[in-house]
Structure 1
Amino acid sequence: MSQHLVFGAGLIGCYLGASLIHKNQNVTLLARQQIAQKLAQGILLTDYLGHKVTTPKPTLLLSNSESQQVFDVIWLTVKCTGVEAAIGQLQTLVHKQTTIICCQNGLGSESVLKHAFPDNRVLRAMVPFNVVELADGHYHRGSEGMFTIESSDNDGDFTEQLIKGIQSPVLPSTSCQQMTQLLWAKLQLNLGNSVNALADIPVKHMLQQRKYRLVIAKMMRELLLVTEAKGVVLPKLTSVPAKILPVVLSLPDVIFKIVANRMLAIDENVRTSMWWDIANGKQTEIDYLNGVIVEEGERLGVNTPVNKKIMGLIQALSNSHSNSRKSFSADELYNLVITSK
């Protein structure tokens, strides 16, 4: 049986690790001491559809410890900002046939791994759903989406066998050969992360306010201009096609609630990972999300002013040392990034 390592037992890592344990995979979680203590009684997984899974205490490898063990499959679930720092420890855990699966938001972080491990299979994965920690050891999937692993002509059989081994109601999984296009489509959805961090309210409450949605819609339109210039065709990730999504977000509140009822079918307590990063004083992934749009826009001659302004606000918020963080109302944020010159 393959030896799996979940490298980075945060929200996604713990949810993924417990899902693999539930499928009787041989799994070790690499975790900080603080997380290890939370998992001492095992892991409880729940989701917005009512599924419930309990697992015993997982096998743990502390992040500051040395290990002589190597693994067949490493699920890298650290944030984009932590990928480069992880390479040193990864080198002690990888053998010649190890597959590394990059589970980061945004685009580009896998290139660091491919450079560091040129002889290993490095695949990308997309995590479309949100996970929150409701209590110590209790991880809740609060939104829909299929966990998707990169496939190709060379890696297709491996990916399909891997999916068969992890597929379950708590971790619906599939494969994709057009992973770059899929990740650009996921990036479009992730543009709400920064607005949620600035609003400092649950995602559902944010989406119920039109001026927050108008900011997100404007950022999405800039992304669509960039992908059009790149010749990237975005696949459909939600019930609404990528090009129509900004139109739906721009609808008046009353109509939006009717048309986008599935978009609002998320738990009341869901917030984004960028909100969590700022709340915990951690570096955000803004450079790998909005920053990719700004960078590609500059390269292609496409103007992306709203994404650029949002990047600046997030960076200022991240650098603030104030005990009371700044929150932006819908009117305030809209006026600041849309109407101001």
Structure 2
Amino acid sequence: MKVAIIGAGAMGSLFGGSLAGVVDEVCLYSTNKAYVEAVNKNGLIMTQGDNKWVVKARATSNPAEIGEADVAIIYVKYTGTRQAVQDAMVSCVTLNTMVVTLQNGIGNVDIIKEYIPEDQIVYGLSTLTSDVKAPGHIEMTTLSKVGTSMWPLNGVVTPKLEKLVDLMNQVNLNADIAPDVNERIWRKLMVNACENTLCAILKVNVTDLMINTPESYEIARQIIFEVSDVARAKGMNISREEALKHVMKVTYAVPGHVPSMVFDILNKKKTEIGCINEAIANEGKKLGVPTPAVETIARLIRALEANYDRTIKHHR
């Protein structure tokens, strides 16, 4: 099996690097040329605490060099989904390619469907975490067993999907085929809507946000409750109390983790707020469920993006 990772950032590299030892070939596609150069020269460096692995894999920033793949895993941020799919179609995606999205938020599948037939698309999520330490070096930050869930968009489980899940489980990606994947996606949205955003605004890690600072915990709790309200209105059996317990369980599983939105803000880049808080608020409006905290945080993130070039600099 040949696997192409379209978007080899922190999470794409985690999946690509992990799978490299059990598949025939992995190609890591990234528009970050420093990453591509580092991986091709030194291998992909993967660390977890004191443990270190160096994975040999091919990396490229040229869509034509990806080549045909049996599986293409889209792992770019929401804002880059359309371009990523277009790039993948240059040489990677054929009529026999299974296209998998494990991206954050909701809305990515709608974009992918514009280009790829539904019977080739598999969607889901992963609650594993990873941070970029340097070009070509990631740090795996998940301490307890969390997983990766997938489901075919047309509801038909194929031998190729079963094989991919088996390969993922051989390298501790903890994958399963989950008919209830939509509910699991909304559970992850509960985490993303409060932790990704508030960590980015406050410039802290998830432990400091949720455990060490009561004031930010209270804001996060209100966001979690609102996301739970929307999920229940959509027919999912997720109470407010259960939602809060889930987010805290994930938080304790990834101590010190810094969500990627923090780096987006620090590096003055567009964030994924459109497929997280804004998407949740839009669902709430459709269903008549108020989401004032979710919407306020979305506006704050948009305000930060709008003022990247006007931020006051500190002078002593």
TM-score class, shorter = 0.7 to 0.9
**1:264 aligned partner:** 252
**1:257 aligned partner:** none
Which letter does structure 2 place at the counterpart of 1:79?
Answer: K
1:35 aligns with 2:35: yes
**1:224 aligned partner:** 228
Which letter does structure 1 place at the counterpart of 2:147?
Answer: M
Displacement of 1:134 after TM fit? Answer: 2.6
**1:44 aligned partner:** 45
Structure 2 CA distance for partners of 1:24 and 1:161, relative to 1, 3 Å: closer
Tell me, in whole angstroms, the C-alpha distance in 1 between the residues paired with 2:249 and 2:185.
Answer: 24
Match among 283, 305, 312 for residue 318 of structure 1? 305
Kindly report which structure 2 residues correspond to 1:124-143, keeping only aligned pairs within 5 A, or say none: 124-143=123-142
Do the aligned partners of 1:204 and 1:267 also contact (CA within 8 Å) in 2? yes
**1:194 aligned partner:** 197
1:174 aligns with 2:176: yes
Kindly report which structure 2 residues correspond to 1:78-117, keeping only aligned pairs within 5 A, or say none: 78-92=76-90, 93-117=92-116
Q: Which runs of 5+ in 2 are unaligned?
A: none
1:121-171 deviation line (CA, Å, top 9, x unaligned): 101131212211234432112124212222575215432211112224552
Q: Which runs of 5+ in 1 are unaligned?
A: 235-240, 250-259, 327-341
**2:265 aligned partner:** 278
**2:207 aligned partner:** 204
Tell me, in whole angstroms, the C-alpha distance in 1 between the residues paired with 2:44 and 2:214.
Answer: 38
Which letter does structure 2 place at the counterpart of 1:287?
Answer: G
Flag the structure with higher helix content: 2
The count of aligned residue pairs is 305
1:77 aligns with 2:75: yes
Tell me, in whole angstroms, the C-alpha distance in 2 between the residues paired with 1:305 and 1:231.
Answer: 21
Tell me, in whole angstroms, the C-alpha distance in 1 between the residues paired with 2:51 and 2:240.
Answer: 29
Tell me, in whole angstroms, the C-alpha distance in 2 between the residues paired with 1:136 and 1:62.
Answer: 14
Which letter does structure 2 place at the counterpart of 1:210?
Answer: P
Displacement of 1:20 after TM fit? Answer: 1.0
**1:165 aligned partner:** 167
Tell me, in whole angstroms, the C-alpha distance in 2 between the residues paired with 1:195 and 1:262.
Answer: 16
1:15-74 deviation line (CA, Å, top 9, x unaligned): 1111111224411111221211222201222336x6643212x212224x5348322110
1:219-246 deviation line (CA, Å, top 9, x unaligned): 1111111112111234xxxxxx863343
**1:8 aligned partner:** 7
Q: TM-score, normalised by structure 2?
A: 0.87
Do the aligned partners of 2:277 and 2:298 also contact (CA within 8 Å) in 1? yes
CA RMSD of the aligned region, Å? 2.5
Tell me, in whole angstroms, the C-alpha distance in 2 between the residues paired with 1:178 and 1:248.
Answer: 16
Tell me, in whole angstroms, the C-alpha distance in 1 between the residues paired with 2:312 and 2:59.
Answer: 35
Secondary structure of residue in 1 paired with 2:252 = coil
Displacement of 1:318 after TM fit? Answer: 1.3
Displacement of 1:248 after TM fit? Answer: 9.1
Which letter does structure 2 place at the counterpart of 1:142?
Answer: T
Tell me, in whole angstroms, the C-alpha distance in 2 between the residues paired with 1:280 and 1:88.
Answer: 25
Do the aligned partners of 2:7 and 2:84 also contact (CA within 8 Å) in 1? no
Do the aligned partners of 1:187 and 1:289 also contact (CA within 8 Å) in 2? yes
Tell me, in whole angstroms, the C-alpha distance in 1 between the residues paired with 2:214 and 2:231.
Answer: 25
**2:54 aligned partner:** 54
Tell me, in whole angstroms, the C-alpha distance in 2 between the residues paired with 1:149 and 1:59.
Answer: 26
Structure 2 CA distance for partners of 1:51 and 1:158, relative to 1, 3 Å: farther
Displacement of 1:114 after TM fit? Answer: 1.7
Displacement of 1:210 after TM fit? Answer: 1.2
Displacement of 1:195 after TM fit? Answer: 0.5
Do the aligned partners of 1:217 and 1:247 also contact (CA within 8 Å) in 2? no
